[in-house]
A = this chain, B = another copy of it.
Amino acid sequence: MSQSIIVLAGGDNSLWPDKEVFNQASHIIGVDRGSLEGLRQGLSIDVAVGDFDSLTKEELDYVKQQVPLVKQYPAEKDETDTEIGISVASQLSDEASIILVGGTGGRLDHFLANLWLPFQSRFNHLTSRLIIKDNQNTIAYFLPGDYTIEKEPDKKYLAFVCLTPMTHLSLHDTKYPLDDIEVEVPISYASNEFIGDTAHFSFSSGLMCVIQSKDK
């Protein structure tokens, strides 16, 4: 498995994925309140970023004591704290997966801003490395091409989520295959399933996001 860096945002920690994901990461970057929650859960946070306006002075002091590098930014800035976290992650490695945790649930305007990060021109080059994970979902992104993906052992469902219109979309080795269709509007082809350990898909234009998920 390739190296991974976790960007830990401040979303509800009851939605975090399995500890295993944290154990396998080379670095954990805490985003604002995510830094504090990470420390409270016994994680070793390498860098903390944000305006920290969701923390009390005592909480921020604690983060500063425990985290080797704290980058504090003004509250009214052009980037969100999560965007800064992703940028810092991309500076640590040119290859590692960047796994956003704590970026789902709660406020849906935040979740959608996270879902659409790969549309931002400065993050385009991270598209194939960005993953969003919680306790029921793994979201990965794909630019036009031909792909084989592997089933995650703990997930049941496989969704092909067209974030844009899309041309020549085909799905193979899935319960509900598709053959060379045109997709005119964003659509979530939910509740598909692997029929073996891998599935294949291809498309010629657009941005695809694949979600493997399970019921609670």
> Which positions in A face B, CB cutoff 8 Å?
12, 80, 104-113, 115-116, 119-120, 134, 136-137, 139, 157, 159, 161, 163-164, 185-188, 190-191, 211, 213-216
- What is the count of identical protomers in the complex? 2
Residues of B within 8 A of A137 (CB): 107-109
Residues of B within 8 A of A111 (CB): 108
Pairwise interchain contact A186-B186, C-beta atoms closer than 8 A:
yes
Give CA–CA (A159, B214) in the complex, Å.
29
Q: A116-B188, A186-B163, A190-B80 are in contact. Are A109 and B216 (CB under 8 A)?
A: no
Pairwise interchain contact B161-A112, C-beta atoms closer than 8 A:
yes
Pairwise interchain contact A107-B215, C-beta atoms closer than 8 A:
yes
Residues of B within 8 A of A113 (CB): 187-188, 190
Output the least CB separation between A94 and chain B (Å).
24
Residues of B within 8 A of A116 (CB): 185-188
Q: A163-B186, A185-B116 are in contact. Are A213 and B139 (CB under 8 A)?
A: no
Pairwise interchain contact A136-B186, C-beta atoms closer than 8 A:
no
Residues of B within 8 A of A186 (CB): 116, 119, 163-164, 186
The closest CB in chain B to the CB of A214 belongs to: B107
Residues of B within 8 A of A187 (CB): 113, 116, 119-120
